[in-house]
């Protein structure tokens, strides 16, 4: 049993963000157990779930358990900041890390502005778990929260990913996953690799990976459970020197030296300096 009075486990005061298990209570860290027991206030996305987690861990919270969710967190922030000046305010959401598409931003931003200490008990996250399980190239990635709900906004978002070389990770609801993958197939192409991860760490955990077209067909009728999607980054076609001549000449007209303009444009677009320089000179001479 971990001693909750250990100063290495909890600060004396301030806001403490804590990641909670995604589904398997055994993933709870000793520091999370200590915080649930010893915090003066537990600000929870769902108070019933917070109490259920504490019970599953064999912990009896000594502090107040109050709600802190999307629709009241801005109004609750001042109250919690005052509590954090004198003691520990623990922030937990239903699963995973607070602020990552979950409540907590208003309180943390206010705490920083007020000079109240903020620290974090790291732990489970659907984002990093899905990235690791995807088996895709995720050395560089972006996280986009939930995919847009409306078809038009979703299509515009997917269009923005056409040239994105980083992997993108996002959440999706069970009843929209089929439509989202179908749209992704149409916009990004059926062979772009992706992974659909559902019910992470739970009994029926499943990771399905393949081309977007294959995944869209598999999920056409919807899926069950909590869903995290990873789409691998796309390939960006290399620019041709002739396509960049106008950009170089525009910079020259604005006062840059030809060599400097060529060097900068070549660096930005990944082309050879010499080839771009020759193309720019040829275009300028032809225009005279």
Asked if 98 contacts 17 with a C-beta cutoff of 8 angstroms, the reply is: yes
Supply the CATH classification number for the domain 142-231: 3.30.950.10
Locate the domains of the chain by residue range: 14-124, 142-231, 241-287
In this predicted structure, the answer to whether residue 273 has a pLDDT above a threshold of 90 is: no
Whole-model pTM: value is: 0.78
Question: What pLDDT score does 2 carry?
Answer: 38
CATH number for the domain formed by residue range(s) 14-124: 3.40.1010.10
Say what the pLDDT of residue 6 is.
52
What pLDDT, in 10s, does the model give residues 52-86?
Answer: 999 999 999 999 999 999 999 999 999 999 999 99
Q: What is the Cα 60 distance to its own chain's centre?
A: 32
Digit-coded pLDDT (tens) for 25-43: 999 999 999 999 999 999 9
What is the average per-residue pLDDT within 140-169?
A: 96
Confidence of residue 3 (pLDDT cuts 50, 70, 90): very low
Tokens of 87: 């003691």
Rounded to the nearest integer, the mean pLDDT of the chain is 93
- pLDDT at residue 237 in the model: 58
Q: Is the pLDDT confidence value at 166 over 90?
A: yes
- 213-225, pLDDT tens digit by residue? 999 999 999 999 9
CA-wise closest residue to 208 among 189, 223, 188: 223
Q: CA 78 to CA 194: how far, in whole Å?
A: 42
Give the torsion through C-alpha atoms of 150, 155, 156, 162, to 10 deg: 150
């Amino acid at each position: 049993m971990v001693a909750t009075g250990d100063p290495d486990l909890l600060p004396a005061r301030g806001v403490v963000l804590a990641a909670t298990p995604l589904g398997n209570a055994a993933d709870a860290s000793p520091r999370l157990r200590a915080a649930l027991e010893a915090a003066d206030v537990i600000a929870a996305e769902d108070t019933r779930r917070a109490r259920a987690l504490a019970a599953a861990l064999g912990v009896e919270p000594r502090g107040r358990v109050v709600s802190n969710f999307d629709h009241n967190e801005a109004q609750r922030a001042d109250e919690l900041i005052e509590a954090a000046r004198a003691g520990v305010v623990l922030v937990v959401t239903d699963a995973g890390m607070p602020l990552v598409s979950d409540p907590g931003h208003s309180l943390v931003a206010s705490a920083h502005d007020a000079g109240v200490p903020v620290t974090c008990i790291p732990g489970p996250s659907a984002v990093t778990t899905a990235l690791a399980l995807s088996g895709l190239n995720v050395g560089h990635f972006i996280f986009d929260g939930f995919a847009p709900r409306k078809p038009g906004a979703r299509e515009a978002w997917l269009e923005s990913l056409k040239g994105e070389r980083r992997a993108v990770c996002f959440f999706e609801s069970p009843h929209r996953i089929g439509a989202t993958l179908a749209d992704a197939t149409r916009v990004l192409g059926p062979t772009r690799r992706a992974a659909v991860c559902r019910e992470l760490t739970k009994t029926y955990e499943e990771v399905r990976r393949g081309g977007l077209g294959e995944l869209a067909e598999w999920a056409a009728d919807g899926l069950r459970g909590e869903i995290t999607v990873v789409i691998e980054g796309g390939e960006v076609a290399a620019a041709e020197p002739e396509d960049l001549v106008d950009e170089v000449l525009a910079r020259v007209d604005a006062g840059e030296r030809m060599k400097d303009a060529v060097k900068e444009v070549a660096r930005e677009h990944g082309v050879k300096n010499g080839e771009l320089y020759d193309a720019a000179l040829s275009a300028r001479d032809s225009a005279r």
